[in-house]
A and B are shown apart, each in its own frame.
Chain A
């Protein structure tokens, strides 16, 4: 009873402060806009701690945030090794391969309007498929080390990037292309100076979607076989040992890596497409 009361109190206090902040005159300043969701997150974590402790929930069902934090700090080297194996080796190489392949195919297809018309619907269709399911096949072909993971990631990120790039390359207007022609610009000059830059907002849209897919692919592919290191391996074995604090620590790593990867893409996008209305 005390527990519920305490948790309710924390919730009420957090909500009251947030309501005051959100409805105040300064609610749109960057500092306050950041403070509100952070405060909301902290409120939830404190409630989680109180409820789990108060009701004496077993750690094999739901560990407390403090247990997870302790596990996170004490297992740093292990987590870093997993991060290196899964994110740096598996996800990143696959992402780069898939991206380059998508760009090459998009530019080749772009030369023929006929192919473009075919690739757009087929690619959009493929992007909606559960490609993650190809993981067992790639693990069988390329072995259980990171090579198979990066292959899965490459296939997963290929289609969204391809579709967006092809759509982006079509985006320049006839007027702009005519202007390039009056300048005597050939195919390559038009591509590099007009069509590629104007495709960038689309391309980055695809690249941003692909960041999450890359992490999902790399982690889930490890459920089908991996060396004794890696985030997916750690998650599936820790679940088997009921060491849920370790699983949560890995999920924190995955969340941080995902947000950082996405954030990096947003930063690059801002530098590249500074001219686009959405960035001004």
Chain B
């Protein structure tokens, strides 16, 4: 366990280190202007001259601004500790019903994600069963299911929202439709693979037991497909979350991670955008982690290995 965690921690530390270093040049010009206004000596003195000097040179000539670059209120690039404290502030120190609480916005996005994920997965599994048992369906639908993975479906999001909005469906459902759509195809492709994974020998064995088609499905094909199902569920849930977030973007939604990103962008509050971005990342990580946990438990009970 320790042997595996140490390299991961190192890589994360390196990324955080690069990020922290990048904060200095990214915010250098901004900080220099502010520092001068509050009475610090700057070289070059005129703000216009500073614009033509590169950030690294500016920092080298004015080492005094380095600590200030980390505490900007509206930074180009916030430092890791600023993002962490903004996250802590908006997750734990706000009432969860408040419009400024990320838990509130997170729940708005998460509920749409989960609803869409459940719909998409259910439809995906049903279609996969149809494809495996019906040759016509296999031949006509499967190529489209594969092709559709090469299409940027997410581009449809604004239209789906407006279309559903104009026939009176608003709120949670339009976003869920996008989430469902995005998690649908990975599940179809994965489940078809899984339901077909039993080999000829196993199918023949069932025939010698004179098992019926439905017994073959419940006792062999379905259990055999579970590892594949989990692999596609993990892809599907993160796709669902991205779908819900993007679904909030073009319509001026007032709540949700996507809305927070847009608000931070439009009202010049970079910290809001960054906090929403990291909160979304943490949510995605938690969802995948929960699925992995269920996967490990289920497969252990069934005595199987992950696909």
Contacts and interface: CB of A to CB of B under 8 A. Distances in A.
B149 A212 contact: yes
Contacts of B163: 61-62, 244
Contact of A27 (B12, B139, B167, B261): B139
Nearest to A16: B136
A136 B277 CA distance: 10
A259 B152 contact: no
B280 interface: yes
A216 B182 CA distance: 12
A54 interface: no
A231 B159 CA distance: 13
Given A22-B139, A40-B144, A220-B249, A114 B242 contact: no
B250 A254 contact: no
A36 interface: yes
Contacts of B159: 235, 239, 244, 247-248, 251
Interface stretch (A115-123, A189-197, A199-207): A115-123
Contacts of B258: 133
Nearest to B135: A22
A161 interface: no
30 contacts: A15-B136, A22-B139, A37-B139, A37-B140, A37-B142, A37-B144, A40-B140, A58-B166, A61-B163, A118-B7, A119-B11, A121-B8, A125-B288, A128-B234, A130-B284, A132-B154, A133-B257, A133-B261, A136-B262, A137-B270, A137-B273, A137-B277, A219-B152, A223-B246, A239-B158, A239-B250, A244-B163, A251-B156, A254-B155, A259-B150
Contact of B7 (A114, A255, A258, A261): A114
Contacts of A22: 135-136, 138-140
A21 interface: yes
A122 B12 contact: yes
Given A22-B135, A22-B140, A121-B8, A262 B150 contact: yes
Contacts of A53: none
A236 to B, nearest CB: 5
Nearest to B148: A255
Interface string B153-177: 0111011001100110000000000
A90 B264 CA distance: 24
A130 B281 contact: yes
Nearest to A136: B265
B285 interface: yes
A232 B156 CA distance: 10
Contacts of B281: 129-130
Contact of B246 (A122, A132, A248): A132
Given A61-B163, A258-B150, A259-B151, A223 B265 contact: no
Contacts, number: 169
Given A22-B136, A122-B12, 13 more contacts: A18-B139, A27-B139, A33-B139, A36-B139, A37-B140, A61-B163, A61-B167, A119-B11, A133-B261, A215-B155, A223-B249, A251-B156, A258-B150
Range of interface residues on chain A? 35 or more
B232 to A, nearest CB: 13
Nearest to B242: A130
Interface of A: 15, 18-19, 21-23, 27, 33, 36-37, 39-41, 58, 60-62, 114-119, 121-122, 125, 128-130, 132-134, 136-137, 139-141, 211-212, 215-216, 219-220, 223-225, 231-232, 235-236, 239, 242, 244, 247-248, 250-251, 254-255, 258-259, 261-263
A94 to B, nearest CB: 14
Describe B's contact surface by its main secondary structure: helix
A132 B242 contact: yes
B93 to A, nearest CB: 23
Of all A-B residue pairs in the complex, the 10 with the closest CB atoms, nearest first, are A118-B7, A118-B11, A40-B140, A262-B150, A136-B265, A37-B143, A215-B152, A117-B7, A22-B139, A22-B136
A115 B76 CA distance: 30
Contacts of A224: 249, 262, 265
A137 B265 CA distance: 8
A250 B155 contact: yes
Contact of A239 (B142, B162, B235, B241): B162
Contacts of A242: 162, 166
Contact of A133 (B144, B154, B156, B277): B277
B203 interface: no
A163 B144 CA distance: 28
A115 B262 CA distance: 36
B106 to A, nearest CB: 13
